[in-house]
Each structure stands twice: as C-alpha cells, then as structure tokens.
Copies of this chain bind each other. A is one copy, B any other.
Amino acid sequence: MTVLQERWQELADVKDELALRDWFMGTSGNLAIKVQDSPTEFLVTASGKDKRKRTAEDFLLVDANGQAIEDTHLKPSAETLLHCEVYTKTAAGCSLHIHTVANNVISEIYGNRGKIEFQGLELIKAFGLWDEDAVLTIPIIPNHAHIPDLAEEFQKHLHGDSGAVLIRNHGITVWGKNAFEAKKLLEASEFLFQYQLALYQIQSQ
C-alpha cells in the first residue's frame, strides 16, 4: 500500500466512524489528512457527497493552496482553505471539522467571551494537559461567510501542532499529529461541550 492509499484508508475509517455518530448532519463537515511535505499535499473531502457512504470519490488530493493536483471533476470542500492553514503553519498530519449540536450551542453561549475554558476535568488530558491545575482554553472565533476571511481569523489560533478552534455557530476544527490524535481531540472536545451544557442547564437555575 502506498502512503497515499494508507492515508486514504485512515481518513475513510475516521469518516465512517464520525458518520455513524451523525456528526455530518445536512452534509456539513470536512476532513483532511496530509500525504507528504515539501511540497505539501493532502487529501480533503470532496464537496457535495453523502459522508455515510464509502466511495472512490470521497476525497481528492490538493496542494498547499487547496488546488486539485490531478485533473478531476471533484471539487474540494468549500472550507479547504482552513485545512491549508493547518498544513502550512503547523506540523499536524490530520485536521477535522464537524458540527454537533453541543459544539454549536457552546460556541453561541460563550461566543462573546471569545473562548471557553475547562479545568479540573480528567478529559483535558487528551490535550496533553496533565497538571492538576491545568486549564484548557478553546478559542471561539466569529463566523464569516467569506472563507478567506474565516481562514485568516482561524490561522491566528494555530499555536501548536495540535489544537482546537470553535467557529461561532459553525462547528469545531481540530488538528493533530495524525488521524488517531485528531480524532482524540475531537471526541474529548465533544465530551467537554456536552458536559458543560448539562452543567449549565442545572447551575444557571
């Protein structure tokens, strides 16, 4: 199996798993995985596909600017520019963007503060925070219909090779060393958002 085939399969497996959880409602969401450096090439989800199906047209190979490398009728996801920022500014190998009810609601409630913080929860260790008093901060950026503006805002928060950014009413984007690490951050974030939402419903009363 070539590196391309391996990466394709890894991303397809992640897609299957997230689809089973209904994390691509209304054809939302897009996924990417790096295939090589210098020059950067990565696979990204093709636009307008049903992500519950597994086909040979689910992904296409693009360059650091998000342009298709081979001649194809497939179009990269509208938000490919955000993935370009990830692979240009960090050493991450995989980046995932999805919508859930919890991540959208959290992004709206905490949107004006520009971030949400978690402390004292075991699950923040998924982000590599092992100290007893560590604080996980997930920034929340405004949504922009114009994708280059959104990408510009997004890249300001690419401070490491793994991380997460919430876009207000527009889901979360996570990035990590590889598919395993990116999925771990995605799951941990979702857990934390659902936790915060449940606690909010009780404590604000």
Please, which residues of chain B bring their CB within 8 A of the CB of A200?
202
Q: How large is the interface on A (under 10, 10 to 19, 20 to 34, 35 or more residues)?
A: 35 or more
Asked whether A188 and B120 contact (CB < 8 A) given A132-B145, A197-B198, A198-B105, the answer is: no
Choose, from A21-29, A36-44, A84-92, the stretch at the interface: A21-29
Copies held by the complex: 4
- Within 8 Å of chain B (Cβ to Cβ): is A7? no
- Asked if A67 lies at the interface with its beta carbon under 8 angstroms from chain B, I say no
Least Cβ distance of A74 to chain B in Å? 16
Do the beta carbons of B122 and A28 come within 8 Å of each other?
A: yes
Would you call the interface of chain A mostly helix, strand, loop, or mixed? helix
What's the Cα separation between A168 and B145 when bound, in Å? 33
Chain A, range 159-204, C-beta contacts under 8 Å to B? 167-171, 180, 183-185, 187-188, 190-191, 194-195, 197-202, 204
- Tell me the bound Cα distance from A26 to B189 in angstroms: 8
A27 to B183, CA, bound (A): 9
Query: Does A157 have its Cβ within 8 Å of any Cβ on chain B?
Result: no
Would you call A95 an interface residue if the criterion is a C-beta within 8 Å of the partner chain's C-beta atoms?
no
Q: Which residues of B contact A170 (CB under 8 A)?
A: 121-122
- CB-CB < 8 A to A194: which residues of B? 101
Contacts of A26 in B (CB 8 A): 123, 126, 184-185, 187-188, 191
CB of A205 within 8 Å of the partner chain: yes
Best-buried of A126, A143, A145, A180 by chain B (most CB within 10 Å): A145
A54 at the interface (CB under 8 A from B): no
The 7 A-B residue pairs whose C-beta atoms are closest, nearest first, are A26-B188, A26-B126, A122-B170, A132-B145, A25-B187, A25-B191, A26-B187
